[in-house]
Amino acid sequence: MPNPLSVLGIVHTAISLVPVVAGVYSFAKYRSIQPATRSGKVYLGGLLLAVLTAFGLSSTDGFNPGHALGILALLAVSGSLLIPRLSFLGWARPYLATFGLSFSFFLTLVPGINETLTRLPAGQPLASGPEHPLVQGTLLAWVVIFLAGFVFQAWTLRAQKQAK
């Protein structure tokens, strides 16, 4: 059975919900995370705080895959913010920027899926660890949702470009 949540774990969990809610709102309203919007700024700030607070947590007493995913999410966001300024990327810039932000959202939920399924319900979690078939199946479904979502975003970007 996993360790109970510490005070920092509870704070981190609450903070981690901020980019999830802001990201879902952005996807619903704009079909992507738009960094210039209020929800986009909340997403970026929440993601940064979630990743930073994660470094105070570790069930293995050291650097773990969740930390690596957090760093990768921040790198994806950084790249997405830089890409629009790289003119040599030409027509691919909006697609790459959108992909990076969506990928960061995808990455934030990977540890969240694992933690949720291995901690809840309290006392009798649904899964025993990351290798449990329920966790693996849920993560596979999340990959499919992410890929389908990005295909939809790319289609939307293309349709917007053709409408201009």
Give how many domains the chain has, as a whole number.
1
67 is a domain residue: yes
69 residue type, one letter: L
Give the domain range for residue 53. 7-163
- pLDDT tens per residue, range 107-119: 999 999 999 999 9
Average pLDDT score, the chain: 94
- Give me the helices (H) in 7-132, please: 7-30, 38-54, 65-82, 93-119
1 is a domain residue: no
2 is a domain residue: no
Statement: residue 163 has pLDDT above 60: yes
40 is a domain residue: yes
Give residue 157's pLDDT.
96
